[in-house]
Amino acid sequence: MFELNEHPGEQLFSDLLFGSPESPLVYNPNAIDIYIDPQHFMRWLASVQPDEPITGNYQIDCSNMCEFACLYLGLKLYDKPRIIDRMRMYYGRFGGWEHYWASYINHSDEEYFVDLTLRQFIDDAPELAIVKAHNERKPGRYSYLSPPDKLKDYIDSYEDTLFKIYSSPMHIK
């Protein structure tokens, strides 16, 4: 039988998954100078995932779609070098849950996480969550173990297939 043991200085995994954060995340929608419409993301998601119906409940519809959210941002901003060159893609955890998210380094060289799927973890998170970048292995926080990839490099690595398989968000009204 497998048993979880707490190690000094570490959280129990169940605490990371279901624990309450010490303080809520502070959302800062004005920290980035680009416009991202979460409802446009949902329409694009419906177009690329026709077998997964959109229910209209953002929390349900964005669940398990975090890599698609990064893909959406990369495809949408791909031809805008001033923006895409300042974006990164992270893989890590939110609390204890595996997760992908993007970041944007604004003109003040401050990095902010840009997350279209945070509501799957936090009921009252905005559809577009923008928070100051951090790396904390705690409940209700983002943590990563390796450096992020440039979002443009992620798109470039799959360019031959991505643009053939997925429609550009620019073609969605």
Residue spans per domain, the chain: 22-47+65-171
- Tell me what pLDDT residue 3 has: 39
Q: What is the DSSP string of 53-84?
A: ---S-HHHHTTT-HHHHHHHHHHHHTT-HHHH
> Confidence band (pLDDT; 50, 70, 90) for 6?
very low
31-40 confidence digits (pLDDT tens): 888 889 999 9
Computed over every residue of the chain, the mean pLDDT equals 84
Model confidence at 140: pLDDT above 90? no
Burial class of residue 60 in the structure, from the number of CB atoms within 10 Å of its CB (0-12 exposed, 13-18 middle, 19+ buried)? exposed
Q: Residue 110 — very low, low, confident or very high, per pLDDT cuts 50/70/90?
A: very high
- Record the tokens describing residue 25, joined without a space: 């995340």
Provide the whole-model pTM: 0.83
Q: What is the pLDDT of residue 127?
A: 95
| % of residues, the chain, pLDDT over 70 | 81
Between 160 and 21, the higher pLDDT residue: 160
